[in-house]
Amino acid sequence: MMLSASFAALLSLLHVATAQTTTASAPTATSTVALNNAAKAAGKLYFGTATDNPELTDTAYVAILNNTNMFGQLTPGNSMKWDAIEPEQNVFDFTGGDQIADLAEATGKIIRGHNLVWYSQLPTWVSSGTWTTETLTAVIQNHVTTEVSHYAGKMYAWDVINEPFNDDGTFRTDVFYNTLGSDYISIALTAARAADPNAKLYINDYNLEYSGAKIDAMVQLVTDLKAADVPIDGIGFESHFILGEVDASSLQTNMESLTALGVEVAITELDDRIELPATDADLEQQKADYESVVGVCMAVSGCVGVTIWDYTDKYSWIPSTFSGYGEACPWDENLVPKPAYDGIVLGFQS
């Protein structure tokens, strides 16, 4: 059947429009090695990803997520945070958290629980409550004990404390610190250990990847907790990088400063955001950045694994948080692996 000339012209226009909006010519990954397999072959415990409950209705997304050769570990992006788990005092809802824990279990993945005590995504009954030392201690103990007990035996690790420091190394002033000083940290860690003695207990923060006051403060905190016999097993380096700003030397030095104190470390929320529009050269730099970060984890024996903050640009938190930036993940928004994927493989093979 012949197409009319005008219909054929329209089709041709549509074709051009489609090609331009899907960046069909952007470079893609060439490696056929699956990432968790690469991590394990390199002696690491896992390569993993964050995920979130609304994404689990996307079957193309879940098909890749389910592949345990690709991802050996999951972190729930939101559904184990305080506002989701205990939205009203002593009213617990594990629905969303259980969905991700069950998926991890069904597909043979380990889980990093995320997170127990954080200033953000905190229900107002906590953040705006009127507390004494005694009442807020009891609230923290009840929250941590109930949540950690619920998942006891299922968690590789918990981010017990999330983002306790300002970038200048002072403690973040939130309801916990303002009421209890830094004691809230030991209160939460002690309760978590009692509720699940087998889970690794972490403190997780960002901007620990560079030299300066923040990493110094974290090293001091771990030193102090160890001296006081407070349980602490690991420090999470969130690793939300900006393209071209990975400082591998500082990252390695900082990880080693912590592992020297007897804790393990992990890359917990890796992504690498690009100022849009991303060029082919940007995607090559991103490949180098991912390779460099994974290479540091390889160089530090106490670095147990690497978690990316979701695997695809389709569900990345970056565009809505950092205006003008995006394409931070190793898979593009069409679930096609980018050169960054090859960088991760090369990092594990270094």
Ligand X SMILES: *[C@@H]1O[C@H](CO)[C@@H](O)[C@H](O)[C@H]1NC(C)=O
Active site residues: 163, 269
- The stretch among 26-34, 72-80, 102-110, 342-350 that binds ligand X (CB under 6 A) is 102-110
Cis status, amide bond into 115, omega within 30 of 0: yes
Kindly tell me which residue out of 11, 63, 91, 152 binds ligand X, with binding defined by CB under 6 A.
63
Q: Give min distance, CB of 313 to ligand X, in A.
A: 20
Q: How far apart are CA 162 and CA 158, in angstroms?
A: 10
Residue 82: Cβ within 10 Å count: 21
Residue 237's closest CA among 202, 191, 285?
202
- Our CB check for ligand X shows the closer of 37 and 107 to be 107
- Amino acid at residue number 285: Q
41 lines the binding site for ligand X (CB under 6 A): no
Contacts of residue 296, Cβ cutoff 8 Å, sequence gap at least 6: 248, 251, 252, 255, 303
Closest distance of CB 64 from ligand X, Å = 9
Of 100-108, 152-160, 291-299, 337-345: span binding ligand X (CB under 6 A): 100-108
66 makes contact with ligand X (CB under 6 A): yes
- 6 touches 14 (CB < 8 A): no
Q: How far is the CB of 87 from ligand X (least distance, A)?
A: 27
Among 62, 175, 242, 336, binds ligand X (CB under 6 A): 62
**Residue 133 carries which side chain, given as an amino acid letter?**
T
Measured CA to CA, the distance from residue 66 to residue 258 in angstroms comes to 33
Q: How far is the CB of 67 from ligand X (least distance, A)?
A: 8
Give the one residue of 31, 107, 190, 250 binding ligand X; rule: CB under 6 A. Answer: 107
The site for ligand X (CB under 6 A) is made up of: 59, 62-63, 66, 103, 106-107
